[in-house]
Chains A and B, each alone.
Chain A
Amino acid sequence: MYSFLFKYIIIGDTGVGKSCLLLQFTDKRFQPVHDLTIGVEFGARMITIDNKAIKLQIWDTAGQESFRSITRSYYRGSAGALLVYDITRRDTFNHLTCWLKDARSYANSNMTIILIGNKSDMESKRAVSYEEGRQFADENGLIFLETSAKTASNVEEAFVNTASKIYEKIQKGDFDINNESFGIKLGAPTSKQDGTDQKPAGGGCCK
């Protein structure tokens, strides 16, 4: 059981390592070569924040522009977004503006976005400096981290920090929790006697 369920979406150019990040986060393993994602894939994991069990339900989208019209529909109803670029490929960084624009226009305004510069293990091939990434994040009000899906560096943090931020927002009352379009669902209370909360949303997803 969980207290909250947060929905995430992972976006970014194709080949930046979105699926690998997800796999590292959910399965704690790295697959050097991952099937390319078509449409949307799905992952979930429980984390704990402030002693509360939080389920992260993560949508991993296809990166190629051709699929944009489909992936856009997943923005809606997401509480958090991981916007990923590849620090070894400049163009993936250059496209961030596009992605961000998309996210802003199709997601709810309260969506928490984290910018992720992936493949930090490939320092020798770096094409985007940490500072550039940092700066872009600051300018756009995003959380920022450089990660490596391969070494698992910062992967956990990326997902958890985002969740913390969302949790913060909940505490501040930024969300109408009962409105599922924010990508947040209230889990069933651990003591299952609250009759009013008899619909443990997404409960079926719990393994």
Chain B
Amino acid sequence: MNTNRVLFSKENVFVYPPEIEKGIKGTISLCSLDKGSIFLCWIPDIEEKEDDHSSSSSSSSSNLQSPNGKNPLAASTIIEIDDQNSWVVRVHVKELKSIKKYTPNIGTPYIIITSKKGTAFFPFFFEHGGVREFLKSLSSIIHLKKSNLDSNFFTVVDFSDPVQRSLSSMNLSDHFYNSNNKDDLYSSSSNSSSNSGNSNSRKQKDPVIPDFNDDLTFGHDMDLHNQDQEKEDRYSLLSSTNQLKKAQEISVLSSPPSSSHTTSISPTSNKSSSFINIGSNNNNNNNNNNNNSSVSSSLSKSTNGLSFSSILSRSTSPSASTSPIPIEKSGNNNGSNNNNSSNITSPIPSPSSKFLSASGGSDNENNSNNTNSNNNSNNNANTGSLSTSPTNKRALKREISSSIFDNFAKVTQLAKSAQKNIFEEPAKRIDNHFRNLIGSKSSIGSNLSPQNANNQYFDILNESGSSLNASSDYFTPFNISSLNFSIELGANRRECNPMSPSEWYSYFDDEGRICLANQQILLKKIFYGGIEESIRQEVWPFLLGVYSFDSTYSSREVVKYEKTQQYQTVKRQWESISCEQESRFSKYQSRKLLIQKDVIRTDRLHPMFIQGEDDIDSNENLRLMRDVLLTYSFFNFDIGYVQGMSDLLSPIISVMGGVSKEVECFWCFKGLMDRLESNFHKDQNGMHHQLSTLSKLLKFIDLELYTHLEANNGGNMYFFFQSVLICFKREFPFHDVLTLWEILWSNYMTKNLPIFMCLSILIKERNQILDENMAFDQILKLINEKANRMDLEDILVDAESMVRYFIIKQMSIDTDKSLIKLKESISIY
């Protein structure tokens, strides 16, 4: 039960199915169900006012339940509608293929999501904004790759799919996705194309591609209209068979509904709605046998045949109650409608369909709890403002003009950088519309307000995400376990073995490159599992930037040669200082002395660094350490040598294998120093900056603890000085440090993981600190004593939870200036 949680949730997201004039207000969310499957859900708020819908919308509701099993091509996706007006979308994030976002200057931003089966959902209109946040959340779960051609278009990169991986490695992905997407776009846009707010003004389109815009009545956004045309143009340019095939699919899928949106149960309109009712197929096993008035029961029966076991399996677990499907509406409707709808819904199910549904009688009971819905929302849906955006049009035209071959030629951008772009887009880019509408901070907490509790979906959310259910921006007391990320992330970590040699080698292409897509898999893999010891020596130089991932075997040889030369040159600079010279070069003398002094007291218990007769020369590895440090102090003279560097170097020497790899040791060390240089600045600005970021982060996450520390001279966070300076080198056993560092270097999600680790260490002790009213010195002692007694995995899991929490939370309080500042100091990828 506790394993279900909401990773993101946004209210006031509307869908405008053709049959429903006013659109349906709902909540879009990303939620993780047990076993770690993450679903994208959209669930309608319950429901329209009854009088509203007993009249006109009753008929439309029956539309929605039309036997959508008629379309074999639409059988894939996991969408279902259930009862009157209750549309539900639930799709496993892995089923997503692409997302197109539209953020018109005026009007409601919306997104169009397509599934891997090529099905486009109805556009989701974020009436109160939140598209960016949604994408951000989503991309923290799956890899989103921004299209080269359209910065608003994102494809989902599925690294687990070998085909996609190899495609991606061929740098074709963009084209590939785009080409697929064009039809998706088309189809979705045809869904979404606007009638300028007037359902009568029809616009006939490409005859091949049926136009059922007419059924859509949203007066939201003229922009859509234009874009739609653009896409139509674009569609005509499509040439690949794939695309054509898709087009056919679409034409089947969306045979033109001649009927108006008021039609009831007309086959055509059914077809159009099949776009959403994809969960069905032609095996209408259950046919119209179920004349129950209880829609949900028929649904649950139908689910028995479903093959999408990952979803179904949940139905028996308590999480099933999250399953939005059977939103029992019958109580609100008049009997005839009920009968109608049940007749229609019953055929939906089919063995192969993946549509979501909660099965089992318990669900029905649960669902019936939801009948006491109060919904008045849809009224504001139609009132969106209209605008045309010529720029958009132009941009799209440009896009069209770029040929497929251009696409081939284009080197794909890193999906990573796409993600980065999403995240690092300045806060001001956030939709003004959103700001205007929201007016104030919208927080996850408010999204999960108890008012939503009558939505069964949120019942669970509230249960599992109770910690998010706070009214303020700050949550106190903070309990990390309540975040509920931990379990899943912990599982991630436990299940992920260190990267094996064979896996490592499998990432290289013939010439020795690791393509972008593979890099991402690789880094993610390292983030969760580290590296097997036997290949650290090979992998570390890549992680530390000695070699770039896209270098070839031969180019690396060149680099190696050059770096060797460079190293020798710098090394000779100090080696050539004679004793006589040295005696008059006190700065060098003392630097050398200090290094020698520190080298012998670095990891002096490690077998490689055990010192002989009080003499550095007794151990070649100690000599190596001195040489590298001294050379680095010449290579980077401004920084010189600062204590702590030897701690950073010794693991590198141990991994690289000692003296025979002197050059590699140096350049790896240099790479590490590039990451950490600011820690060693004389003014220690880097350290102060990080510690103050930590403090701000703590304030953001655990105000009570923060306040306590502030009042007890602990606001400076100095007890983490050593941890941050040398990346927990002394806080964990040597072998753990190697793993930890790989994890940090993977840069997965954030560069600032150490800060989040500090945070998780601190928060683990929060109760003791607060209960015992600990002052700074006591906390310092407490933290110092934790060294080598902490479970790395545990800390990492918590730290990752907090990164994710931060990502989600920061999006919801964009207006907080201090938070924006904080966001600037933390780089989230």
Contacts and interface: CB of A to CB of B under 8 A. Distances in A.
Interface string B585-617: 000001000100110111010000001001000
A143 B722 CA distance: 32
Contact of B730 (A14, A38, A64, A66): A38
B428 interface: no
Interface in B608-648: 611, 614, 642-644, 646-647
B649 to A, nearest CB: 13
Interface in A16-35: 32-35
Contacts of A35: 601-602, 604, 730
Given A14-B643, A64-B642, A67-B643, A36 B598 contact: yes
Interface string B760-780: 000000000000101001101
Contacts of B600: 33
Contacts of A7: 777
Nearest to B713: A77
Interface string B658-693: 000000000000000000000010111001100000
Contact of B643 (A32, A34, A64, A73): A64
B784 interface: yes
Contacts of A70: 684, 687, 718, 721
Given A40-B721, A70-B684, A15 B597 contact: yes
Contacts of A202: 777-778
A125 to B, nearest CB: 13
A188 interface: no
Interface residues of A, number: 28
Contacts of B774: 204
B725 interface: yes
Contacts of B647: 38
B789 interface: no
A190 B722 CA distance: 37
A35 B644 CA distance: 11
Contacts of A106: none
Interface string B680-721: 101110011000000000000000000000000100101001
B678 to A, nearest CB: 12
B157 to A, nearest CB: 41
B93 interface: no
Interface string B379-419: 00000000000000000000000000000000000000000
B817 interface: no
B718 A33 contact: no
Interface string B775-809: 00110110010000000000000000000000000
Nearest to B640: A66
Residue among A36, A42, A62, A204 having the largest count of chain B Cβ atoms under 10 Å = A36
A39 B718 contact: yes
B683 A38 contact: no
Interface in A163-207: 202, 204-205
A91 interface: yes
B640 to A, nearest CB: 9
A118 interface: no
A148 interface: no
Contact of A69 (B594, B598, B683): B683
Nearest to A91: B590
Contacts of B780: 40, 42
A146 B770 CA distance: 43
Given A38-B643, A38-B721, A62-B643, 12 more contacts: A14-B594, A14-B643, A33-B611, A35-B601, A36-B598, A36-B643, A38-B730, A39-B721, A42-B777, A59-B777, A202-B777, A205-B778
Interface of A: 7, 14-15, 32-36, 38-42, 57, 59, 62, 64-67, 69-70, 73, 77, 91, 202, 204-205
21 contacts: A7-B777, A14-B643, A32-B614, A33-B600, A35-B602, A36-B643, A38-B643, A38-B647, A38-B721, A38-B725, A38-B730, A39-B722, A39-B725, A40-B721, A42-B781, A59-B777, A66-B642, A66-B684, A77-B777, A202-B777, A204-B772
